[in-house]
Each structure stands twice: as C-alpha cells, then as structure tokens.
C-alpha cells in the first residue's frame, strides 16, 4: 500500500462527516467507527461488482496513519485488489478533509487504508460465482 499525497481521482464510494458522538477517550474519532465506514464502502463497491448480495469474510490488512477529528469530511475510495471465483478483495483508502480549524486552507489527509474480503451470496445465503468483469471492477 502506498502513501500518495492526494486522494484518488475517482469518486468516493462513501462520504460522511465525523461527529462528536463517534469520539474515543482522547477526543479523536473512534477507530471502530472508521473501520465500520470502510467496511460499508467496501461492501457497497463489492455489491456493485457482484451485482448482488455480499458478506464481509475478512480484513486482511488495516493501517491507521493519522487520527480523524470531529468535523472532518471522511471519504472512502475503493479499488479491486484481487478477484476470485466467488470472492473479491477490495482496497479501501480513507481520506479526511480537514476544514481549516484556525483559518488555514482545507487539507486532504490520508488517514487509513485496508484490504477487505467479500464473498458473493446466493439467495439461499451460500456462495455464488461473481459475474464477468465490469468496467468498475478495475
């Protein structure tokens, strides 16, 4: 996983605002909240690729680079890292837009990244094959 200086040029899969109710004892946004946002983003991306239901089956890697602060605009960007017959591994990069606390210009900061694995689900809850590759499937 690399550390580029600006967010991906694609649209984020999820964008949300970090709120005071999501803070830990230090006053930063709780890591579990951030992990949940990344899982939601990765799941939405995987559903688009799978053309249907998916379930999270694992988180292979997770790195927290910087804290997320109350008021940050959090954006999760997704790409296909690996694709199997019934599963897809999604790389999720999370960036926070700091909205200038003391008059400085807003800044985009990479705060986390991780690899999330999903399996495509059939109507009965069992695994099913992924459809052929689509453009948004990297």
DSSP assignment of 10-61 equals SPPSEEEE--GGGB-TTSSBPHHHHHHHHHHHHHHHHHHHHTS-EEEEEEEE
Which of the four pLDDT bands, split at 50, 70 and 90, describes residue 78?
Answer: very high
Pick from 3-12, 27-36, 77-86, 105-114: least confident: 3-12
pLDDT digits (tens, 9 = 90+) for 15-72: 999 999 999 999 999 999 999 999 999 999 999 999 999 999 999 999 999 999 999 9
| pTM confidence score | 0.89
Q: Tell me which residue of 137, 90, 95, 96 sits closest to 114, measured CA to CA.
A: 90
Taken in order of first residue, the domains within the chain and their CATH numbers are 14-131 (3.10.129.10)
Which of the four pLDDT bands, split at 50, 70 and 90, describes residue 76?
Answer: very high
Contact in structure between 95 and 56 (CB atoms under 8 Å): no
Sheet holding 54-64, edge to edge: 14-17, 73-83, 87-98, 107-120, 54-64
Residue 138 neighbours by CB distance under 10 Å = 15
Alpha carbons within 13 angstroms on the beta-carbon side of residue 9 total 0
Q: Tell me which residue of 85, 106, 122, 118 sits closest to 13, measured CA to CA.
A: 118
Q: Which long-range contacts (CB under 8 A, 24 or more apart) does 63-66 make?
A: 63/1, 63/112, 63/113, 63/114, 64/31, 64/34, 64/111, 64/112, 65/3, 65/110, 65/111, 65/112, 65/113, 66/96, 66/109, 66/110, 66/111
């Amino acid at each position: 996983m690399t550390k580029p200086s600006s967010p991906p040029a694609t649209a984020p899969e999820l964008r949300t605002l970090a709120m005071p109710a999501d803070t830990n004892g230090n006053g930063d946004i709780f890591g579990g909240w951030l992990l949940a946002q990344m899982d939601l983003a990765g799941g939405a991306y995987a559903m688009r690729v799978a053309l249907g239901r998916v379930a999270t089956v694992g988180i292979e890697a997770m790195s927290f680079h910087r804290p997320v602060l109350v008021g940050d605009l959090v954006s999760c960007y997704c790409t296909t890292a690996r694709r199997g017959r019934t599963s897809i591994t999604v790389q999720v990069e999370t960036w926070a837009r700091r909205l200038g606390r003391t008059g400085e210009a807003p800044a985009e900061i990479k705060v986390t990244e991780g690899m999330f694995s999903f399996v495509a689900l059939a109507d009965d809850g069992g695994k099913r094959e992924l459809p052929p590759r689509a453009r948004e499937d990297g």
